[in-house]
Structure 1
C-alpha cells in the first residue's frame, strides 16, 4: 500500500498497478511481485513488493525471479487478467516499464541467505560481526557482479541482526532441532532502490552543465534510515527505510516560455520574396507574367492555398495550393488573364470611347492561407489599358471604326499606314512595353509622332490587335496552309489568303503585305504574324 499526505494529493497522477507470478512454472502466485507506479509532480516513482524463491540453495532461481519480474512488469492504463501478456506481445513506444521510472524502490522477502555454516553464523551473530556475515550474503554477492541481479540498485548500510528465521513470540532465532533441516539466520527481508541512469550519469561524471545542475537540483533521493523492527507474530522481522526525496517540480513560467518557443519553432513559416510584384500594363492581347518565390524557413512542411475568394478574376496564379517541405523553395507565378468578359470591362469607371485609350491603376492583395499559421499576403500592382477596339470581332470593329478603305477597320489601317512609312528593319519581339502602351494611348495622334516610334513597336501593336480579336483572322484549312508556309515563299501564303471570305481576305492582304514589306525575310516577324492571325 502507498500512502500520500493530503497536501500532495493533487500532485499525484498516472497511478498504475500490476502483478506477476513467478511460482510454479513461473506463473504461480505463491511467489512473484506487485508493482505500483505513479507520478508525483514531475517525477515518477515505482514501488515493487516481491517474494522470491526460498531455500539456501536456490540463489540462481531467486536471480531468475528478479529478472522475470523486471521483464514482465508492464504498466497499462486498463488492468485486466491479460494486461501483462498483451503489453508484452504488443509493446510500443508508449509502454511503461520499471526501468523507465525516476526512482524504483524494491522491497520484500527476497529470500537471499548467508553462505556460511550455521555454527559460524551463530558465532558471528553473538559477536554482532555484521561485516563478516555480509561478505557471504548472497544478495551482496549478486550486487557486486557486473551483470548480476539488481544491477545498479543500492542498499543502505545494514547495522541490524538478520531478519529470519526468528522466534515468533520472543527474541532469538528458530534454527530447528536435530531432526529438522537447520535454518541458518539471514537477511531475507530487504529494501533496495535505484535512480534512473540519467541522474546517475550526471552525478558520476560530475557534470557542470546547466542541464546537469538542473537535474541534480530537481531530483534527489537520499536514504535517511534503514532499520529492523522488533514486531512479534511472524518468523520474519520487518525492516523499514526512510528516504528524503526531492521531486522535480516545474517552474510554470519557464515551462510556458519553453512551450511557447517550441510552438514558435514548429509553426509553419512561409516567406514570400518579393512581397510585392509589378505586372506590366494589362490589356487584351497581352498577358504579362511575374513570379515570387515561396520559401519554407521552418522545420515542418508548409501547406498553403491561394484564397480564391480574394483573388481578382483578371489574375491567374500557379500553383494555387501545395505543400512546401522544410528548408525548400517554390516559384509562384502570377499572370494576367484578361478577357472581354472580365468584370473590368463592365465597370463604368474604366469606360472609354472612340479610338482613345486610357490606363487605370490596378492593385490587388493575394491572400495565401497557411495551415496552422497566419496567412501570407502578396501585393500585385499593375495598370489596366482599356482600348475600345481591343477584343472585338472583325465585323464589329469595322462597324464601329470604319475607315477610308473598305473592309478594314480604322485601328488596323492606321497601324498599317505607320508601318509602311518606316524603313525596313529587323523585328524585335522584346520591344519595351512602355513604347507599345504609348502607341495605344496615343492612337488618334500617332501620325504626328512617327519619327520617334520603332517599327517593332508598331508591328507588335498590330499583332496584339489581331491577337485580341474575338475570332481569328484566318481559320480552318486556310490557317493550316498558312502555318505550313515558309517566310522565303510569301507567294504561297498570298495564294491561300485569296480564298478567304470577306472581310478577312482584305484585312489579311493588307496586314501580310505591310509586314512582309517592313520586315522582309525576318523569320521571327513571320512566325509572330502567322501565330497572331491563325489562333
Structure 2
C-alpha cells in the first residue's frame, strides 16, 4: 500500500491511496478543485490533471531539509520522471476500481439563492439536479469520463453557517452563496458496456447501498458525504492455478527439456583445495568454467576458522556465520561471473596487521592481545548457473603460518635495543604484578 501526495494547481490538490484486495487494485483519490461559480473549466482541468499525473509507484523524496513543501517536491519529481506509467497510460486507468471523493466545488447554474432555498425546503432535488454543473459536464463528456455517481437524494452540502443546525443554516450573509452539491463521491469499476456481471474479465463490480450527507455535522461550512459500497470481486485461487500450470508444464516434454538445461549447474574446476600463507603472502586460486555455453556465477564465503595446535593439527573449527572473512585474510574478488570456457583468478592474500608486536615467552602478541598463532579457515566456493538457485560447493583449506614463530629466540636477542624492549617474559610480568612502584620498574626493566 502506498500513499502519494501531489500538488495539482495553485488552489487545488489531491491525495491518493492504492491498495490490493485479492490481487485487485483499488485507488481512492481525495480532491479539492477550484472554487467559484464560473470556474467550471478550471475544475474540469483540475480533474484531468489529477487523473493523468497521480503516481503511486515512484520514490518519494523528502524536501524538508531544503525548506520546500512535500507536495511541491512530489510534483517536481512527477514532472521530471514523466506523468504516465510505463505503458504510456495514466496509472489510475489501470486500476480495477477508482473512487474520487472530496470538495469538487461544482455549483448550480441558472438559479437564484431564494429559488434554490425554496426547492430545498420542498425537497425537490430532481429539479435542482438539472441545474447541477457536474452532471451537465459529465453528460457532455468533459469530466469524470466513464465514472458513475449514485442518485443524489440529500440536500446541497454547501454553504452553511458553522454551528447552525438543519436547513436553516444555509449562508445568510451578504454574499448569500447559492446552495450546491460541492461534496461528491464518484467511482469507476470494471464494468463495460458489454460486460456487467462479475467475472475474471470483469473482476470488480460495485453497487451503492447508501449515499447520503451528514447533516448533523456543524463544524464546517460543508456537510460531509458518505457512501457505502457493496463489491463483488473475482478471485483466482492461486494454489489451483499453480497446480494446473505445473501439470501443463509437466506434460510438455519440450518445455521440460528446456527447464532441465536451464537448471543445470555448470561444471567448474577449482585449482586447489589447500593453501598455505605466511606473512603478506599471496596465492592465486583459479576457477575454470568447463561448460561451453552457460555462464557460471560464483561466490566465496568463509565457513569456519580454527587455531592450529603445536602438533600442526587444527582444533575444532568455529563457524564464522555473518562475520565474513577474518581480518588477516583478503579474498578478491569474492564473487563474480565466469564466461563459458573461461578462467577466473582469485587472489588469496594474507593481510598484515599494522600493530606493535610484543613477545611473551617466545609467542608473538599484538598490543590488543589478539591471538597470533597459526590459524586455518575453510573457504567455500559456491558455483551456480544463471537460471537456478541450486549450487555446487568446493571447500578449500587456507592456513596462515606465522613466520615469526619459527625464528629462534637467539636471533631475536641480537636485534637492536628498540626490539629488545618489546621482548618480555612471563617472569617479568610476575615481578611487575607484585611491585609497589610499577612505573619505576618498567623504566629499569631492560636497562643496560
After TM superposition, give the deviation of residue 232 of structure 1 in Å.
1.1
Instruction: Report the CA distance between 1:102 and its aligned residue.
Output: 1.1
The answer to whether residue 120 in structure 2 is matched with residue 125 in structure 1 is yes
TM-aligned CA deviation for residue 191 of structure 1: 0.7
Q: Distance in 2 between matches of 1:237 and 1:109?
A: 10
Equivalent in the alignment of 1:205: 194
Aligned-residue offset at 1:266: 9.9
More off after superposition, 72-81 vs 151-160: 72-81
1:123 Cα deviation after fit:
2.6
Aligned counterpart in structure 1 of residue 175 of structure 2, from 158, 163, 181: 181
Tell me how far 1:63 sits from its aligned partner: 0.6
Q: Of 102, 105, 109, which aligns to 2:103?
A: 109
CA–CA distance in structure 2, aligned partners of residues 88 and 267 of structure 1: 50
| C-alpha spacing 1:140/1:156, structure 2 compared with 1 (3 Å) | same
Q: 2: distance between equivalents of 1:249 and 1:307?
A: 44
Which position in structure 2 is the counterpart of 1:237? Answer: 223
Which residue of structure 2 aligns with residue 472 of structure 1? Answer: none
Q: What's the counterpart of residue 242 of structure 2? A: 256
**1:161 corresponds to which of 155, 159, 162:** 155
Instruction: Decide whether aligned partners of structure 1 residues 52 and 68 sit closer, same or farther in structure 2, where only a CA change above 3 A counts.
Output: same
Deviations 1:276-297 (A, max 9, x none): xxxxxxxxxxxxxxxxxxxx8x
After superposition, what is the alpha-carbon deviation per residue over 1:388-430, rounded to whole angstroms, capped at 9, x for unaligned?
xxxxxxxxxxxxxxxxxxxxxxxxxxxxxxxxxxxxxxxxxxx
User: Structure 1, residues 352-399: CA drift from partner, whole Å, max 9, x if none?
Assistant: xxxxxxxxxxxxxxxxxx9859xxxxxxxxxxxxxxxxxxxxxxxxxx
Q: Does 1:93 align with 2:86?
A: yes
When residues 266 and 156 of structure 1 are mapped into structure 2, their CA distance, relative to the original with a 3 A threshold, is farther
User: Structure 2 vs 1, CA of residues 130 and 308 (structure 1 numbering), >3 Å: closer, same or farther?
Assistant: closer
Number of matched pairs: 261
Regions of 4+ moved over 6 Å: 265-268, 301-309
Q: Which residue of 2 aligns with 1:379?
A: none
Q: Secondary structure at the match of 1:236?
A: coil
Change (3 A) 1:49 1:207: closer
Structure possessing the higher radius of gyration over alpha carbons: 1
2:59 match: 78
The 3-state SS of whatever aligns with 1:74 is: coil
Contact 2:108 2:132 (C-alpha < 8 Å) held by counterparts: yes
Report what 2:18 is aligned to: 37
Conservation of the 8 A alpha-carbon contact between 1:16 and 1:38: yes
Mapped partners of 2:111, 2:161: distance in 1:
20
TM-score normalised over the length of structure 2 = 0.51
**Which residue of 129, 135, 142 maps to 2:130?**
135
What is the RMSD computed on CA atoms of the aligned residues?
Answer: 3.7
Shift of 1:250: 3.0
Rounded to whole Å, the distance in 1 between the matches of 2:266 and 2:18 is 51
Higher helix share: 1
Q: Tell me the SS of whatever aligns to 2:43.
A: helix
Picking from 20, 44, 60, the partner of 1:63 is: 44
Write the distance in 2 (CA, Å) between the matches of 1:114 and 1:51: 18
**CA 1:304–1:267 in structure 2 vs 1: closer, same or farther (change >3 Å)?**
farther
Q: Tell me: CA distance 1:207–1:157, structure 2 relative to 1, closer, same or farther (3 Å).
A: closer
Paired with 2:233 and 2:22, the residues of 1 have a C-alpha distance of 7
Q: 1:265 to 1:205 in 2, by over 3 A?
A: farther
Q: Is the 8 A contact 1:164 1:185 kept in 2?
A: yes
Q: Distance in 1 between matches of 2:266 and 2:59?
A: 47
Corresponding residue for residue 152 of structure 1: 146
TM-score, scaled to structure 1? 0.43
1:190: which partner in 2?
184
Gaps of 5+ in 2: 62-69, 270-290, 295-384, 389-448
Contact 2:191 2:205 (C-alpha < 8 Å) held by counterparts: no
* CA positional deviation for 1:45: 1.2
Between 1 and 2, higher relative CO (CA 8 Å, sep ≥ 6) is seen in 2
**Which is further off, 233-242 or 75-84?**
75-84
